Amino acid sequence: MKSYSKKSFVEVVGVALRLGLTSFGGPIAHLGYFREEYVVRRKWLDEKSYADLVALCQFLPGPASSQVGMAIGIARAGLPGALAAWLGFTLPSAFLLVAFAFGVNAVGTAAAAGWLYGLKVVAVAVVAQAVWGMAKSLCPDRSRATLAIVAAIVTLSWPTAVGQLVSIVAAGIIGWSFLAPTTLGSQAHAQFPVSKRVGVIAWIIFFVLLLGLPVLRPLAQSHSLDVFDSFFRVGSLVFGGGHVVLPLLQTEVVGPGWITNEQFVAGYGATQAVPGPLFTFSAYLGAVMNGWSGALLTLVAIFLPSFLLVIGALPFWDILRANANFQSALSGINAAVVGLLLAALYKPVWTSAIHSPADFALGLVGFGLLMFWKWPPWTVVVLSAAAGEMLARL
């Protein structure tokens, strides 16, 4: 097996760090930045290999762009390269969001602040943009659009992690049974130094944690274990990544009273103003709950499934992707993902932010700037925070 030097590890950290500091715009935009950097500029892998990685990571639960970066890190620097890619891409936004969390805690009753109100409203525009974009690509026909609508209704009627999981599983079964398969691309050319034995070990660890933590949780009576289990489960079950994490996290942290809904939505709005993966929202939530240690715990817990899933899937992807039934199931799952996001747009995002015509007007302005004027999300977030502060002073 090829050996990798410390220089390769540092090289991956450096490139990923630059991407982590400059990649605004959400997971789809991140994949565009990655292609430009890794395929066009550095030629670490070819177009076909990159397309295959994107297809794989869209199938796996978790943050797709981060997982693509991990896989590229593995190809460049072996298994440690996954850690290198994650550190560089994740830490900039994580530090910024932890700092924001300390600021929110410092002001105490920040829920009444105008700028915070602006962040809550702009979250409506950002999620609406995500619903629009994902629906166009993942629900292009009436069958998948219907699946998305039904998934949204089920999720709103059964607002728990179980309800969301049932929607995803049912959509996968329906897709397997009734939807036509889609083409996932051609044979990959990149080499990933992960043996099937290592892949199986990764799968075993993943399922032991996913199934074992909920059993251990009531026995240990530890708040840290409760938090780790909740965030690990979210990272394990979120298909589609990005904004789809919102309803699951809202259920896990607001439901038991770990943070307030106002703190949750404010942090989500702030997440739109920073580069890097949206999953670093977990660092904000952990910091609100328990400072730096809480941020580290939640950040590791939500991303750990991504490491295990990528390492476990790479040795078997070529076999799986050739299965027509699997492709059909994936089409159904993707449609359900759109439904989950549509449900999240209504609750908690819309219900906690839009209470008056002025709120709706500010949300419309943000949506128009994002969708039609193509302004960067961080610019729209800053503008909305300033507009919220101005409206609050009137």
Q: What pLDDT is attached to residue 109?
A: 45
Please report, for residues 97, 119, 147, the alpha-carbon distance to residue 358 in angstroms, rounded to integers and kept in the order given. 28, 14, 34
To the question of pTM greater than 0.85 for the whole model, the response is no
303 close to 94: Cβ distance less than 8 angstroms? no
Per domain, the residue ranges of the chain are 94-393
| Backbone dihedral angles phi then psi of residue 149, each to the nearest 5 degrees | -65, -45
Q: What pLDDT is attached to residue 335?
A: 87
**In this predicted structure, which of 41-55, 80-94, 282-296, 348-362 has the lowest mean pLDDT?**
41-55
Please report, for residues 9, 191, 201, 211, 234, the alpha-carbon distance to residue 248 in angstroms, rounded to integers and kept in the order given. 33, 35, 27, 17, 6
- The tally of CA atoms less than 13 A away on the side-chain side of residue 167 is 33
Measured from the Cβ of residue 307, the count of other Cβ atoms closer than 10 Å reads 22
Tens digit of pLDDT for each residue in 65-111?
A: 899 999 999 999 999 999 999 999 999 999 999 998 988 666 554 44
Tens digit of pLDDT for each residue in 182-226?
A: 655 544 456 788 899 999 999 999 999 999 999 998 888 899 999
